[in-house]
A = this chain, B = another copy of it.
Amino acid sequence: MTPDELTDLENIKRLKYAYLRCLDQKDWQGLRELLVEDATAAYSGGRYTYQGRDEIVGFVERNMGREQFHSSHRAHHPEITLEGDRAAATWALEDIVVDSEWNFLLIGAAFYEDVYVRVGESWRIQHTGYRRSFEMTLPTTSIEGFALTASWWGTDGQSSLPVM
């Protein structure tokens, strides 16, 4: 690969990382800017499908907007194929959600199939979608002594655990 191709790979990875950072920090304006206007999404094996940036961001904001909804989405294992000003990629996702209002924990895994396009000097998301390997949920009230000990919103990101 040439330095230009290696740079494209690095920049596409960073696009995905920024997308997931915006998601978990609830930065909806930042998220918008990473998607082209006619972007499409097919989450959860296509069960949650959206057309256009407005629909996608609307879906995410409605379902992940509450500050009691704490999420960690981590993308692993990028296998990116460059095709000039387009690129396709497979990623492995793991996600954790702990909801301190509805008292549930979710742990999931999936494989993404994304498409990116070059817009000027940078890359944007044209399509994103994933199919679940598994997803499990449990009520946190079922576990005696379960505690949320830090929250980005509730505790300024600080833990309440003692240290030595």
- Interface set of A (CB-CB < 8 Å, partner B): 1-3, 6-7, 9-10, 14, 16-18, 20-21, 24-25, 44-48, 59, 62-63, 70-72, 74-79, 90, 92, 94, 96, 98, 105-111, 130-140, 142-152, 155-159, 161, 163-164
Whether the pair B146, A145 counts as a contact (CB closer than 8 A) is no
Partner of A10, one of B9, B94, B96, B108: B9
Q: A24-B92, A133-B71 are in contact. Are A78 and B17 (CB under 8 A)?
A: yes
Copy tally for this chain in the complex stands at 3
Q: Report the bound CA distance from A136 to B155 in whole Å.
A: 13
> Could you tell me the distance in whole angstroms from the C-beta of A139 to the nearest C-beta in chain B?
4
Residues of B within 8 A of A143 (CB): 138, 142-143
A-B contact pairs, 13 of them (CB 8 A): A21-B90, A47-B159, A62-B163, A63-B163, A105-B136, A110-B157, A132-B155, A134-B148, A135-B161, A136-B140, A137-B147, A142-B144, A142-B145
Partner of A157, one of B3, B70, B131: B131
How many Å from the CB of A23 to the closest CB on chain B? 11
Q: Is the CB of A164 within 8 A of B63?
A: yes
How far is B155's CA from A46's CA once the two chains are assembled, in angstroms? 12
Q: Which residues of chain B have C-beta atoms less than 8 A from A18's C-beta?
A: 79
